Each structure stands twice: as structure tokens, then as C-alpha cells.
Amino acid sequence: MRIGILACDILKNEIEFLTKDDPDFTYREYLEFALHENPENMKAVIIEKVSSMKGKVDVVFLGYATCQSLRGIIDALDVPTVMLQGADCIDALLGSEDYEAEKKICTGTWFSSPGWAEQGINALIKEFHLDSVEGLDPSYFLDILFASYERCLFIDPGIGNEEEFLKKSLAFADDLKLKHDCRKCGLDRLEDSIAEAKELATSISSG
């Protein structure tokens, strides 16, 4: 069987950790996280990318949660597809209950997974085009954007290289003058979706 991966690069570390040695995954592509800035464009890009895999893979594992515009997208795809459960990538990692619980602990929380920690401040500057305004330092706009945030919560999913990810998350919090907390999480939800993709691919290839 042949499974293609199309995912957001924010979750690349976790998805590769779970699938890197699995020969059933014959195609891998990770899209730039900033696509979510324009939800409708992100949806169009995903549909186009999945369509291009038709005949090359049996099933697509879509490494995206609903992310504002992707609810029901599977019905618009030409290739059988399994996607992540949850509202966004943090929901897919933590699960809805823990996600909401952390928001109640501190409403103004920036959630920092390994992917977000890697992207850091420069990714926000790029995403919001903060370096395109002449005469003003991007930090001026970041201070405005993060005025309601109080803490940065690093989520450690146990994929290795924790010290480096934590270091980058701490640097992000320090730059934005946020309190920094840490917590662990499992990869159960990602594993469940990957297992579902493999089961679907098995049924198709044997059917």
C-alpha cells in the first residue's frame, strides 16, 4: 500500500517521529505554516496538492486539523484522505479537554510546540509582514499583537531534542516578556489518525 503525507510543517517533527521508518509512507510534503494566514487559499492549495497525488498513492494522511477553513474538506478531495481531529495543531497534540484546561489556567497563553518553537519570532514577523513597514521596528507591532498574552506554554511531546526546542521556546518567551511554563503530552491523537490512514489504505489495496 502507498500512503502520502501532506502536512503543515509545524507538525513535521511529530509526524516524522511516528512515520520515518515506515515503508508504507511513500510520499511526503510539508507546507509552509503561514498558509493559515489566508484560510481559503490554504484550502485551495491542499485540494490541488492532494489532487496531484491521484494514482500515485492509495490514501493521503492530511496532517492538518480543521484550522478555520478545512471542515468537510475530505468530501472535496479526489483521493481517500484521513485528517487530524481537532480545531488546530495544538488541539491535535493536547486534545480538546487539556487544551481548554490550559486556556482556563491562563487565558492569554501562547502555545509553543516544537514546530512553533523552531519558527520563533522571525516566523511571526514573516507571517504578519511586520518587516515591510518602513521606519518601524517589527518589535513595535509584536508588542501590540501580544499585549493580551501573559505566558508561553511549551508542549513537549517526547520526540527527542527537547533541550533545543525548550531553549528556543524560552527565547521566544523572553523576547516577548512572557512567563514560560512547560508540560508534556503524548502523540495518541496523531497515532490514531495515522493508524486510521493505514487501515484505510489496507482495505483499498486488498479490495
pLDDT, tens digit, 9 for 90 and up, residues 16-59: 999 999 999 999 999 998 887 788 899 999 999 999 999 999 99
- When pLDDT is averaged across residues 142-157 and rounded to a whole number, the result is 95
Q: Are 113 and 157 in contact (CB under 8 A)?
A: yes
Task: Report the C-alpha gap between 19 and 16 in whole angstroms.
Answer: 5
> What residues make up the domain containing 69?
3-90+187-205
Catalogue the E-assigned strands of the chain: 3-8, 25-31, 59-63, 81-83, 109-112, 151-156, 179-184
Looking at the whole model, is its pTM more than 0.85? yes
Shared domain for 24 and 10, answered yes or no, is yes
Shared domain for 174 and 118, answered yes or no, is yes
Shared domain for 104 and 132, answered yes or no, is yes
Query: How confident is the model over 69-101, as pLDDT tens digits?
Result: 899 999 999 999 999 999 999 999 999 999 999
Q: Count how many Cα atoms sit within 13 Å of the Cα of residue 196 in the half-sphere of its side chain.
A: 16
Shared domain for 64 and 121, answered yes or no, is no
Confidence check: pLDDT of 191 > 80: yes
Q: Are 207 and 89 in contact (CB under 8 A)?
A: no
At residue 183, the pLDDT reads 97
Shared domain for 85 and 123, answered yes or no, is no
The domain tally of the chain equals 2
Closest C-alpha to 119, from 20, 4, 36, 204: 36
